[in-house]
Amino acid sequence: MSLSSYVPWAEKHKPRSIAEIKEIVGDADYVDKFISWLKGWRPGEKAALLYGPPGVGKTLLVEVAAKELGYELFQLNASDARTESMLRRLVGQSSKSVSLYSSKGKLVFLDEIDGLYGAEETGAVKTIVELIKESRVPIVMAANDPWDPKLRALREVAIMIEFKRLKVYSIIKHLKKICLRE
C-alpha cells in the first residue's frame, strides 16, 4: 500500500449515517433528541448546545446529520473566532442567508464553544446570543464543559443535549464488526 492511498483507520471506519451512530451508542436518547430538534427547528427558536466529554461524537453527529438531512454545514471552531467582529463577519452572514447548495438550507456549527477564554472574548458570548436570536438557520454549539459561568447566557438560549461516554460493550461490539470487515 502506498502512503498516498493510506486512509487513517478512524476516518475509514467512522459512522457515515445517523443509523450507524445510533447502532454504536445504543439506547442513548441524545441522538434522537438532536435529530428531532434539528428537523423541527424554526426561525426564532433556541439553538442546540451539545455537551459531554471529548470523543463521544458531538461533532460527528452534527456533520453526519447535516449531510444526511440535506443541510449545508458552516462549521467554525469557536476558539478560532474570538472577537465580536470576527464572529459577526463569519457567523452573522451564514446565519442570515439561505443556501444555494442544499435543499434544507444552512446549519451553523460552533464547535468547542467552551474554548472562549480571555479578555478578547468578552463580547463573543454576547454576540453569539444575538446571532442565535436573529438567525434564520439552526445554530448548534458543542462544548465539553457548558457549565462555565461565562457560558450562562448561551445556556439560556439553547436546548441542552448531554452526550454520555460510550459503554465499553458498545465499543467492543463495534470494533468486532470493523475487524470482520478488515
| Location of C-alpha cell 444552512 | 106
pLDDT, position 28: 73
pLDDT, position 170: 76
Q: Residue 24 and residue 96: Cα distance in Å, rounded? A: 35
pLDDT, position 174: 73
Domain holding 152, by residue range, is 3-181
| Backbone φ, ψ for residue 27 (5° rounding) | -85, 15
CA distance readout (Å), 78 to 17, 67, 75: 25, 21, 9
Four-residue CA torsion sign, 30, 158, 37, 143: negative
Q: What is the mean pLDDT of each run of 10 residues along the chain (182 residues)?
A: 66 83 82 96 95 93 95 82 65 57 78 73 80 91 92 96 85 78 76
Residue 148: strand, helix, or coil: coil
Other C-beta atoms closer than 10 Å to the C-beta of 162 total 14
Domain total for the chain?
Answer: 1
| Location of C-alpha cell 451512530 | 21
Four-residue CA torsion sign, 11, 56, 64, 151: negative
Q: Residue 91 and residue 75: Cα distance in Å, rounded? A: 9
For residue 147, the domain's CATH number is: 3.40.50.300
- Give 3-state DSSP helix, strand, coil % of the chain, rounded to 5: 50, 15, 30
pLDDT, position 157: 97
